[in-house]
């Protein structure tokens, strides 16, 4: 089972869903949509179309992150320190509960937690990460974790196994250590403007076949073209 799509909507949604049956929703990282908006999203796509949600920055990123500039409602100054980094606070818990409700509306199966490079493997970060994933209600949802920063393979593997997390990677930068299906995010070799070559896509096809089941999400400037080329390759050659 190889599912291919893009991180976000590189073209109009109506055109996108004619080609792909999977998208990683980027809007949810910055601001969660209202329930009515999510219902319209679900109604506007075919049966079987899958939304992967990117967990809100309120869970994963400290308010010092520049990404908070896109937050629709500014945080109260007195509570800013309670957000991000998987902190064991009511604010982080509320952000997760809102995400879980949205996942139910959209029929989501997988939620991606992308961490910033500043979320390093300190004792505090490991403790917060562990407590979050051990205590939040997940139901049938699968969790994918994309660590950045200096996390060793041994640390990532142990945490993913113990906390039942899919290790999300760019397979051209790092090999996945745990979890099924594999979750590949293609950021571009050397940067966002990179366009994948035919040889790259052949290598990617081999990696997905090795994984057996995989989500393959392109996140480069040419994502629309590269994802279509890769999907055609998979459909033609398996």
The pLDDT of 218-231, averaged and rounded, is: 98
3-state SS, residue 145: strand
Distance CA(115)–CA(100), nearest Å, equals: 18
Residue 88: pLDDT band with limits 50, 70, 90: very high
Looking at domain 2-237, which of 3.20.20.410, 3.40.50.150, 3.30.70.20, 1.10.260.40 is its CATH number?
3.20.20.410
pLDDT at residue 209, as a whole number? 93
- What percent of the chain has a predicted confidence (pLDDT) above 90? 98
pLDDT at residue 1, as a whole number? 87
Which candidate, 126, 147, 128, places its Cα nearest to that of 136? 128
Overall residue count recorded for the chain in this entry: 238
Please check the confidence at residue 238 and state whether its pLDDT lies above 80.
Answer: no
Distance CA(37)–CA(237), nearest Å, equals: 38
The pLDDT of 103-119, averaged and rounded, is: 97
Which candidate, 114, 24, 32, 116, places its Cα nearest to that of 66? 116
Whether the bond between 181 and the residue before it is cis, its omega within 30 degrees of 0, is yes
pLDDT at residue 237, as a whole number? 81
Q: What is the DSSP letter of 28?
A: H
pLDDT at residue 105, as a whole number? 97
Domain borders along the chain are: 2-237
R_g of the chain computed on alpha carbons: 17
pLDDT at residue 219, as a whole number? 98
Please check the confidence at residue 229 and state whether its pLDDT lies above 80.
Answer: yes
pLDDT at residue 149, as a whole number? 84
Residues 59 and 113 sit within 8 Å (Cβ to Cβ): yes
pLDDT digits (tens, 9 = 90+) for 117-164: 999 999 999 999 999 999 999 999 999 999 998 999 999 999 999 999
DSSP string computed for 64-105: TSGGGGG-SSPPPGGGGGGSSTT-SSHHHHHHHHHHHHHHHH
Distance CA(100)–CA(133), nearest Å, equals: 13
The pLDDT of 70-92, averaged and rounded, is: 96
Distance CA(16)–CA(229), nearest Å, equals: 14
Residues 136 and 165 sit within 8 Å (Cβ to Cβ): no
Q: Cβ of 183: how many Cβ atoms within 10 Å?
A: 27
pLDDT at residue 13, as a whole number? 95
């Amino acid at each position: 089972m190889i599912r291919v799509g893009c991180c976000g909507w590189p073209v109009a949604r109506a055109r996108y869903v004619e080609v792909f049956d999977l998208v990683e929703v980027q809007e949810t990282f910055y601001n969660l949509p209202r329930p009515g908006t999510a219902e319209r999203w679900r109604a506007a796509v075919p049966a079987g179309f899958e939304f992967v949600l990117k967990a809100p920055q309120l869970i994963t990123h400290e308010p010092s992150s520049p990404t908070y500039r896109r937050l629709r409602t500014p945080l109260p100054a007195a509570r800013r320190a309670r957000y991000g980094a998987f902190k064991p606070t009511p604010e982080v818990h509320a952000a997760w509960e809102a995400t879980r409700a949205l996942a139910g509306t959209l029929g989501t199966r997988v939620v991606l937690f992308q961490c910033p490079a500043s979320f390093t493997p300190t004792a505090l970060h490991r403790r917060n990460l562990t407590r979050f994933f051990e205590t939040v209600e997940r139901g049938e949802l699968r969790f994918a974790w994309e660590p950045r920063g200096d996390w060793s393979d041994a640390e990532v593997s142990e945490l993913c196994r113990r906390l039942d997390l899919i290790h999300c990677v760019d397979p051209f930068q790092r090999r996945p250590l745990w979890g099924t299906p594999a979750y590949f995010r293609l950021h571009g070799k050397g940067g966002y403007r990179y366009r994948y070559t035919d040889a790259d896509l052949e290598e990617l096809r081999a990696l997905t076949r090795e994984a057996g089941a995989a989500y393959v999400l392109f996140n480069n400037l040419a994502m629309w073209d590269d994802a279509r080329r890769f999907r055609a390759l998979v459909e033609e050659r398996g």
